[in-house]
Structure 1
Amino acid sequence: MTTTISPTGIERLYDDTQILVSRTDKDGYITYCNEYFRDITGYEDRSLLGQPHNCLRHPEMPRSIFKLLWDDLEAQTDAFAYMLNMASNGDHFWAFTHITPSKDETGEVVGYEASRRVPNRTTLREVIEPLYKELHDIESRFDDEEEGLKAGNDHLASLLNEKSTSYRRFVLSL
């Protein structure tokens, strides 16, 4: 999957009874995905397996949200987020995502499992989309990606601090 895919601006919707599931190894390479996940992404098993999960990353998804996710996962806790993903043809889809570290019998993290559900459309429209656009715009102002990430992360931390909450509690309260 070395082809560059451009966003089409077309959203793919899925049924609220569907749970999109994928698993990765500890480095984020896809080891499993269910039929619903393959259907919404437009990929076949053979083209997804072994690929880095970020091959589905939409370019307008704020990197500061990924940093929060990885902070939680590195602390070996579940992570929750609204995610904007991109399908094989550039269409996009939203998901409320729950990521869980998978551990072996010794307690060592060996991978991650992500379950995605249809997000509430009102929450997306009124809260998540404006917030993510704001974060993405802040991050995009910087030529240096690390500076942009820091600026987006600082802005998000400030917003959450004003609400006396964490991102996890914030998204779970929506």
Structure 2
Amino acid sequence: MPVVAKNITFSDKILIVSKTDLRGNITYANRHFMRISNFPETALLGKPHNIIRHADMPRGVYYAMWKTLKSRQEFFGFVKNLTSDGDYYWVFANVTPDVVNGKVEGFFSVRRKAPEAAVKAIEAIYAEMRKKEAGLSADTAASSSWKWLSEHIESQHGVSYDEFVLGLYEQYL
């Protein structure tokens, strides 16, 4: 029988917290992060945060995140993460630059449980983004799918990406 990955769920009261350096390497992970992702601290610290990147996540979402963070703004988004044993969990992520004495020193990420109804809505959008990315070079896939997402949200919902994801999260709390 084929092995099917499980959706790992957790309380909506839990905050998954991590901190990275400027290159995205993990410098701090709280116990909730380790427990839910099923990674020990030694497997996380010093490693790229994308160690938990799930293949179902469109590149365009990460493109938007890094573009936003480089402009010293905070990023919000729904993210499907991978556990060490191949399972997955959905979060609503808030990533912010860690500014010390006017200089960005790294990034903080605080993640909450993503509401199931919000995940259902975003999965269809992410599937379309992955279709847009398929067949494109790595250089253009991310920016192309991000452009499509921004235009899609604006035309279908009349709001910006941030307004859309924040509204989707709050709508299903």
TM-score under structure 1 length normalisation? 0.89
Q: Residue 169 in 1 paired to residue 163 in 2?
A: yes
* Aligned ranges 1:142-153 → 2 under 5 Å: 142-153=135-146
8 Å Cα contact 2:8-2:87 kept in structure 1 = yes
8 Å Cα contact 2:133-2:142 kept in structure 1 = yes
Distance 1:8 1:108, change over 3 A: farther
Shift of 1:8: 4.6
Task: Give the RMSD, CA atoms, in angstroms.
Answer: 1.5
Shift of 1:135: 0.8
Question: Structure 2: which 5+ runs fail to align?
Answer: 169-173
Residue number among 71, 93, 111 corresponding to 1:116 in the alignment: 111
- Aligned mates of 2:152, 2:132 — CA distance in 1: 13
Amino acid at match of 1:137: K
Calculate percent identity across the aligned residue pairs.
31
How many residues align? The count is 165
Q: Residue 27 in 1 paired to residue 23 in 2?
A: yes
Find the counterpart in structure 1 of residue 125 from structure 2: 131
TM-score under structure 2 length normalisation? 0.90
After TM superposition, what 4+ stretches of structure 1 lie above 6 angstroms from structure 2? none
Find the counterpart in structure 2 of residue 3 from structure 1: none
Find the counterpart in structure 2 of residue 69 from structure 1: 65
Q: Residue 92 in 1 paired to residue 88 in 2?
A: yes
